[in-house]
């Protein structure tokens, strides 16, 4: 190599070095070639802010094939419509616009299952609305018995399914011991692992006590106990779930996602309005990217468990962006007139979860 060549080569390396100081801007292979890789371009799509966008909402909720009476805010008289007019804007990239036809084409013949509590059902209904609005004339076949609701978009043969499970791990009827929450057992996994996409969620039920607690005892191995620290129980169950994924799920065939903790808005102190005790008067999102209360505790437990997985599992990290949407809940605009700052209006901010799911899957 002549001196001139050496210098040129050296300069090339130096330039690459500079460019690659920001690792998300380039990936240099052994030969020093630079690949622009838009997929790897490290845009954290979950960091950003809500911006007003007149083209939203993505669909007319009165035309959805189905919205449960818990989530159909406009039908039950929500007077303000401003909450429908926001789009999630990641800080350093744009989300692709949801396209139901591309989604159905990509997942032709496939089965997508949401597994979890009513928040999973909430997200499932939003996705059904989003797909339906792209292909309004397509017939939907409705099937399934508790705990499964199965909507199949005919023609494409795409099934979008929700499997109701409050804790992911099993609750079984003991012989004389009442209902037992078995922290180390996932029998329903036999059904789940046959799907092509799985979107998990659990949290809402872990702290319930009294008549709302759907179990009487907890079992771990051979040990049966009356109760325990709930956060610890949550962690054990998530760990059981993670081991199940690592040992039983063929992630070449089945894509696995876990949804972040869905936040609630009952404590105005969390968003600097200490006198507020629910979401009834909230009509606009919180400005900016940060939520003053920070992440809820279970988010840290969930993230710790997800780190232990050896198989690829995507984290649908919707917690912070949803914390900013104190205006996204039904409040009393549901069939029961009961204050609900836990679930989300359909249409509404939960549609963004599916825009993000779409981005992860396409």
Ligand X SMILES: *[C@@H]1O[C@H](CO)[C@@H](O)[C@H](O)[C@H]1NC(C)=O
The interface with ligand X within residues 112-141 (CB under 6 A) comprises 141
Terminal-to-terminal C-alpha distance of the chain: 46
Cβ contacts of residue 85 below 8 Å, gap of 6+? Answer: 52, 53, 54, 56, 57
Which among 116-124, 146-154, 229-237, 300-308 is the span making contact with ligand X, rule CB under 6 A?
146-154
Residues in binding contact with ligand X, number by CB under 6 A:
12
Strand partners, 246: none
- 161 touches ligand X (CB under 6 A): yes
d(CA 193, CA 115): 12
Query: Between 111 and 167, whose beta carbon lies closer to ligand X?
Result: 111
∠ CA 203-209-212, rounded to 5° = 80
Shortest reach from residue 114's CB to ligand X, in Å: 12
Query: Between 60 and 80, whose beta carbon lies closer to ligand X?
Result: 80
The interface with ligand X within residues 82-111 (CB under 6 A) comprises 111
Which candidate in 117, 270, 327, 340 is catalytic?
A: 340
- 175 touches ligand X (CB under 6 A): no
Query: Between 161 and 233, whose beta carbon lies closer to ligand X?
Result: 161
- 152 touches ligand X (CB under 6 A): yes
- 174 touches ligand X (CB under 6 A): no
Query: Between 29 and 287, whose beta carbon lies closer to ligand X?
Result: 287
| Binding track, positions 208-237, relative to ligand X; x by CB under 6 A | ------------------------------
Torsion of the alpha carbons at 286, 288, 289 and 292, rounded to the nearest 10 = -60
| Binding track, positions 307-346, relative to ligand X; x by CB under 6 A | ----------------------------------------
Contact by Cβ (8 Å): 270, 213: no
Pairing of strands 48-52, 158-164: unpaired
Would the CA dihedral through 195, 200, 206, 208 be positive or negative?
A: negative
Q: State yes or no: cis peptide before 347, omega within 30 of 0.
A: yes
What are the strands, taking DSSP E only, across the chain? 27-28, 34-35, 48-52, 86-90, 111-116, 140-143, 148-153, 158-164, 170-173, 179-182, 197-200, 217-220, 223-225, 255-259, 314-316
Shortest reach from residue 294's CB to ligand X, in Å: 20
Among positions 28, 135, 138, 148, the unique one binding ligand X when judged by CB under 6 A? 148
Shortest reach from residue 321's CB to ligand X, in Å: 16
Q: Based on the residue annotation, tell me whether 292 is a catalytic residue of this protein.
A: no
DSSP state of 169: S
Which candidate in 118, 120, 331, 349 is catalytic?
A: 118
Which among 9-17, 121-129, 145-153, 293-301 is the span making contact with ligand X, rule CB under 6 A?
145-153
Shortest reach from residue 287's CB to ligand X, in Å: 4
Q: Based on the residue annotation, tell me whether 157 is a catalytic residue of this protein.
A: no
Pairing of strands 111-116, 86-90: unpaired
- 159 touches ligand X (CB under 6 A): yes
Shortest reach from residue 326's CB to ligand X, in Å: 13
Q: What letters, b where the CB count within 10 A reaches 16 and e where it falls short, cover 317-351?
A: bbbbbbbbbbbbbbbbbbeeeebbbbbbbbbbbbb
The interface with ligand X within residues 270-289 (CB under 6 A) comprises 287
Q: Based on the residue annotation, tell me whether 340 is a catalytic residue of this protein.
A: yes
d(CA 252, CA 104): 20
Residues annotated as part of the active site:
118, 340, 343
Binding site for ligand X (CB under 6 A): 111, 141, 143-144, 148, 150, 152, 159, 161, 172-173, 287
């Amino acid at each position: 190599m002549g001196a001139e060549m050496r210098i040129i080569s050296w300069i090339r390396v130096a330039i690459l070095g500079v460019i690659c100081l920001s690792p998300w801007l380039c990936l240099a292979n052994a030969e020093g070639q630079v690949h622009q890789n838009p997929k790897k371009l490290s845009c954290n799509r979950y960091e950003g802010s809500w911006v007003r966008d007149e083209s939203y909402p993505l669909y007319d909720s009165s035309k959805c094939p189905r919205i449960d009476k818990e989530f159909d805010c406009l039908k039950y008289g929500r007077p303000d419509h401003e909450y429908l007019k926001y789009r999630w804007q990641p800080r350093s990239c744009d989300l692709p616009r949801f396209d139901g036809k591309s989604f159905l084409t990509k997942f032709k013949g496939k089965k997508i299952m949401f597994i979890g509590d009513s928040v999973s059902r909430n997200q499932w209904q939003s996705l059904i609305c989003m797909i339906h609005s792209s292909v309004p004339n397509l017939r939907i076949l409705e099937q399934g018995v508790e705990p499964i609701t199965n909507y199949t978009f005919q023609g494409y043969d795409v099934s979008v399914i929700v499997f109701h499970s409050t804790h992911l791990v099993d609750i079984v009827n003991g012989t004389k011991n009442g209902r037992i929450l078995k922290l180390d057992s996932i029998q329903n996994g036999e059904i789940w692992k046959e799907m092509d996409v799985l979107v998990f969620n659990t949290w809402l039920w872990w702290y319930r006590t009294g008549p709302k607690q759907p179990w009487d005892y907890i079992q771990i191995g051979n040990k049966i106990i009356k109760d325990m620290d709930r956060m610890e129980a949550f962690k054990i169950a998530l760990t059981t779930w993670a081991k199940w994924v690592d040992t039983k799920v063929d992630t070449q065939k089945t894509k696995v996602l876990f949804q972040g903790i869905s936040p609630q808005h009952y404590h105005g102190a969390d968003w600097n309005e200490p006198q507020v005790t629910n979401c009834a008067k909230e009509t606009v999102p919180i400005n900016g990217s940060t939520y003053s209360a920070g992440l809820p505790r279970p988010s840290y437990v969930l993230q710790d468990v997800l780190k232990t997985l050896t198989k690829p599992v995507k984290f649908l990290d919707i917690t912070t962006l949803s914390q900013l949407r104190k205006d996204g809940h039904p409040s009393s605009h549901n069939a029961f007139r009961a204050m609900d700052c836990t679930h989300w209006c359909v249409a509404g901010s939960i549609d963004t979860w599916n825009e993000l799911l779409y981005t992860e899957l396409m």
